[in-house]
């Protein structure tokens, strides 16, 4: 159970009208803007695949897209925050550092499966398996330690 004090709700949860103003673009190189924009859309596409396939992560690709759009098109960043499917994941991360419980356990399960595959079926050197295991354990501990998003079905 998380005992940390709740943070204020994300501004887009309280008032979606506040998200219509574009903030200044932080990419200064004229070649960087199209590159960041392209990266953002590739990440959105990967996130869309992640919604349909449990073996693909969703939230990390949305955060990459948000980062890229913040440097190329704040309008698209706001679009992600307000999106019917993607928005709650991004807003929960921005406001609370939260990852849905189902996503946490699915990520840990997939990491365990990947490690088992590496160790049992690839013939990878033991040192590679050990280093991968150490890295995945650290990542899994970080993921599991993140709070769950607040329950939006409660009247409070």
Domain boundaries defined on the chain: 29-97, 98-149
Q: How far apart are CA 118 and CA 29, in angstroms?
A: 41
The tokens for 70 are: 């913040």
Q: Which region holds residue 146: left if phi is over 0, alpha if psi is between -120 and 50, else beta? A: beta
Tell me which residue has tokens 């913040």: 70
Best CA proximity match to 103, nearest among 42, 38, 54: 54
Q: How far apart are CA 16 and CA 142, in angstroms?
A: 31
The tokens for 90 are: 């991004």
Question: Is residue 64 within 8 Å of residue 86, measured between CB atoms?
Answer: no
3-state secondary structure of 3: coil
Q: How many residues does this entry show for the chain? A: 156
The H-assigned helical ranges of the chain are 11-14, 32-52, 59-70, 74-82, 87-96, 101-121, 126-145
Q: How far apart are CA 61 and CA 118, in angstroms?
A: 24
Question: Is residue 2 within 8 Å of residue 37, measured between CB atoms?
Answer: no
Q: How far apart are CA 74 and CA 66, in angstroms?
A: 9
| pLDDT tens, the chain, 156 aa long | 445 545 555 554 444 444 444 445 555 577 888 999 999 999 999 988 887 876 677 778 888 998 998 888 888 889 888 989 888 888 898 899 998 888 888 889 989 999 999 999 998 999 999 999 999 999 999 999 999 998 866 555
Q: Is the pTM of this model over 0.75?
A: no
């Amino acid at each position: 159970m998380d005992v940390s004090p709740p943070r204020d709700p994300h501004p887009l949860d309280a008032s979606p009208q506040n998200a219509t103003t574009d903030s200044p673009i932080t990419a200064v190189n004229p070649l960087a803007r199209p590159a960041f924009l392209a990266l953002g859309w590739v990440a959105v596409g990967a996130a869309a695949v992640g919604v349909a396939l449990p073996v693909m992560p969703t939230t990390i690709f949305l955060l990459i897209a948000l980062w890229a759009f913040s440097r190329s098109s704040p309008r698209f960043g706001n679009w992600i925050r307000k999106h019917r499917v993607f928005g709650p994941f991004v807003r929960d991360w921005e406001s609370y550092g939260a990852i849905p419980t189902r996503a946490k356990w699915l990520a840990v399960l997939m990491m365990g499966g990947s490690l088992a595959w590496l160790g049992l079926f690839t013939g990878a050197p033991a040192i590679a398996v050990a280093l991968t295991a150490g890295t995945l354990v650290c990542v899994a501990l970080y993921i599991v330690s993140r709070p769950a998003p607040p329950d939006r079905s409660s009247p409070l």
